[in-house]
Structure 1
């Protein structure tokens, strides 16, 4: 049976709900489930990037054009990072007012759970490219199952340690840990096909730009009133600051992404 990275996420969620139900309270299970639904909505947008690049990777690998394989994989990986890092920072920044709007006052404290679970997006974005696309494209799907199996075992152990102490927060950390393990194992597998360091070369730009975006969003929130207005102001500020910083830093991957985008438009 072949498991995908998304299957792993479903297993983590089900497993953590069961652990929470037995070692914690029903209300905490509801907190966890609702936070997970928000993350899944955002994940659909990020993982869609991988499906676009899959045919090119598979075709290049079939032709033994390893240079193109690395080129397309690196491009897709950077697009995922370009999008996922600011989304994570943005969700954490707006988590409190957003939770009040989306979940209501009865879910006080759910913003913390959402702020932890949203880190899954980065690692699931990586595994959507490395695992669901690249490993499948090069006919190595067995490693998908292996990575998910190992991560489930580790995540289960983390849950049994953290949930009795931290409740739903521990379950959230367990889920993020599981996704991290999947991504790391898959990266170790593909390192003989591609330059791993090249994949991560522009991450410092995305990280620091997202961090400064987060700080700017938090700063402007102190001058806004009302949850909805605060969220809107934070989003506009965050998008503006992040965009300006990315174009100021001009990481090499941005030039490659824009070149690929303009080439696709010109071909149309």
Structure 2
């Protein structure tokens, strides 16, 4: 996290124009290298050197391939999006799509971080046959993701008008519109991450998870062509949104008899109303104020304060869950 923060500061400080492409690439490369190197000193204390003759590679190959297929599907459909935009519209449109998607993915890293933490924990509980605890953790995690993904989606949409030119430069004002279209993806991927990474995979329902991802990829490819031809880059972004909706909807459908939807979406209305109330004043400030770093920070503070203030008034169950975690 520290390396990522330093690299982000370095990008904002050192990259000033298109002539600084080399510096930008160097920062990304060095940060990736240093990030991986910081893990090595801890490994000897945690991992023992394996004995080659005791390794049973083929025993783990099939389960690994089952997890590999969804990753291939995700990678392929993201690459196909850019390629189809380039072929059916223009290279410029492909660039707009890429920049918008990168900004959304930057926010998504926060939303989906719970999946990495919870997967081994829930897998351990499932192995011990503690199914009730698995579900309780899932309900809590689902509620937490809703509580942060909804304001983030509304926040990105509210700040989009000023955010893209400030973040990428004046030539990328088209990204404003794309950010607004793609913003709901933050919620959809957040929810599919909870169900997929924190329930389907730990409970050995890899097939369902794989089908959901492949179904989303196929949907994306099929609807991309007509939408790009009709709407251009906005069509490609709409296709991305619809494909993520398919993934999340399919996963919810498959777990409908194992999980209680009333528990999952218990506080959705509260977060949505608070998000709307946050969005309106933040958006008004965004389109009326001059674009500066200080004004953007001010808008974020205003939006955050409104959202948190409304949650304190409406009292969703996330406060109870946080109190329980503190006691533990």
Q: Same fold (TM over 0.5)?
A: yes
Take 2:182 and 2:285, find their aligned partners in 1: how far apart are those partners?
Answer: 24
CA contact (8 A) 1:97 1:230 kept: no
For 2:148 and 2:178, locate their aligned partners in 1 and report how far apart those are by CA, in whole Å. Answer: 21
Per the TM alignment, residue 9 of structure 1 is displaced from its structure 2 partner at its CA by 4.1
Corresponding position of 2:244: 179
**Paired residue for 1:263?**
327
What residue number does 1:88 align with?
153
Aligned match of 1:227: 292
Larger mean CA deviation between 53-62 and 23-32 belongs to: 53-62
Over residues 213-265 of structure 1, what are the superposed CA-to-partner deviations in whole Å (9 max), with x where a residue is unaligned?
A: 001212333663333233112101000000001111101233213322x134x
CA offsets, 1:171-210, max 9 Å, x none?
A: 0011111111111111122223221221011111111101
1:159 aligns with 2:224: yes
Q: Which residue of 2 aligns with 1:76?
A: 141
TM-score, length-normalised on structure 2? Answer: 0.76
Instruction: Select 1:23's aligned residue among 58, 64, 88.
Output: 88
- 8 Å Cα contact 2:161-2:287 kept in structure 1: no
Q: Indicate how the Cα distance of structure 1 residues 140 and 194 shifts in structure 2: closer, same or farther if over 3 A, else same.
A: same
Render the CA deviation track for 1:100-132: whole Å, top value 9, x for unaligned: 111111112211111212221111111111112
Cα pair 2:119 2:202 within 8 Å, conserved: yes
Distance in 1 (alpha carbons) for counterparts of 2:187 and 2:201? 20
Which residue of 25, 33, 36 maps to 2:98? Answer: 33
Q: CA deviation at 1:8?
A: 4.7
State how far apart, in whole Å, the 2-side matches of 1:4 and 1:81 are. Answer: 27
CA contact (8 A) 1:5 1:182 kept: no
CA distance in 2, matches of 1:4, 1:258: 39
Alignment of 1:103-182 (within 5 A): 103-182=168-247
Indicate the SS of the match to 1:225: coil
User: Could you give the per-residue CA deviations for residues 9-40 of structure 1, whole angstroms, max 9, x where no partner exists?
Assistant: 43332121121111101100000011111111
TM-score for both structures, normalised by structure 1: 0.92
* 1:236 partnered with 2:301: yes
Would the aligned equivalents of 1:81 and 1:203 in 2 still touch at CA under 8 Å? Answer: yes
Cα distance between partner residues in 2 of 1:200 and 1:72: 14
After superposition, the Cα gap between the structure-2 partners of 1:42 and 1:221, relative to the gap in structure 1 and judged at 3 Å, is closer
Instruction: Report which structure shows greater RCO (CA 8 Å, sep ≥6).
Output: 1
Alpha-carbon separation, structure 1, partners of 2:79 and 2:288: 40
User: Is residue 166 of structure 2 the alignment partner of residue 98 of structure 1?
Assistant: no
Unaligned runs of 5+ in 1: none
Unaligned 5+ runs, structure 2: 1-64
Give the CA RMSD over aligned residues. 1.8
Contact 2:140-2:321 at 8 Å conserved across structures: yes
